[in-house]
Amino acid sequence: MRLLLKSMIAAGLLVSAVPAGHAVPLLEPTLRLKPHEDAATPPRVALTLDACGGKTDNRILSALVENRIPATIFVTGIWLKRNAEALEIMKAHPDLFELENHGGHHVPAVDTPRKIYGISTAGSPDAVAAEVEDGAAALAKNGQPAPKWFRGATALYSPSAIALIRKLGFKIAGYSINGDGGSLLSAKETARRVAAAKDGDVIIAHINQPTHAAGEGLAKGLMELKAKGVNFVRLDDADGEGTDDTTD
């Protein structure tokens, strides 16, 4: 079942998180929205938030609801089980929140055994497929529409796993700005990165670490973008308008 991409050149950014001795490098896909042809149109930015596990950062969720900022939320089956209240808030605002697939168990979509940032990968094509399908099933169980996008844990992939995920019918959700460094950055640095977003940027950050300073910085950075007149969009609202470095 092992699948290979036809072209690795356009598959994304090669990263240094690959342990020595592994022949196939991991890929970190990027994603941007197409720029506006009309320069007078307000800049568009897509906010994507990972809900890996744990709890919900209500500093972020409240800021999104109160300020009417749309976001694409990548949820795992683990997060869905533990955050019923936050899920109900998101369901109550379907105009703001688009829930997409972050996997069943937050397992990196890499089909060979290794560890990334201390997390064991899926390790086989069958396990990658199970992670993707379990994530979609968890969303369906919670009354959500079938997801169109997938983002794996750590956002790193083996080339053959990318091909497999596409064969399962999902688009890979890359990004152009790492807003919070896995929720490990300071509030100041997170706010700086997020506020620096330009037209077409896709931001990745996290909404599942309520005790981390990065959440405060994310909310602040989003307010700065809103004050600049940025038009926030969800990935599905911009469907067909984006380009990613993993496109064949």
Show pLDDT as tens, one digit a residue, over the chain (248 residues).
223 222 222 233 333 344 444 458 999 999 999 877 777 789 999 999 999 999 999 999 999 999 999 999 999 999 999 999 999 999 999 999 999 999 999 999 999 999 999 999 999 999 999 999 999 999 999 999 999 999 999 999 999 999 999 999 999 999 999 999 999 999 999 999 999 999 999 999 999 999 999 999 999 999 999 999 999 999 988 754 554 555 44
CA distance 216 to 89: 20
Identity of the residue numbered 9? I
Tell whether 16 is covered by a domain: no
Tell whether 80 is covered by a domain: yes
What is the count of structural domains for the chain?
1
Domain span at 155? 42-240
Q: What is the domain-level CATH number for residue 208?
A: 3.20.20.370
Phi, psi angles (nearest 5°) of residue 95: -75, -15
Tell whether 27 is covered by a domain: no
Tell whether 25 is covered by a domain: no
Q: Which of 149, 181, 7, 182 is nearest to 72 (CA)?
A: 149
Tell whether 37 is covered by a domain: no
Tell whether 19 is covered by a domain: no
Which pLDDT does position 12 carry in this prediction? 31
Tell whether 48 is covered by a domain: yes
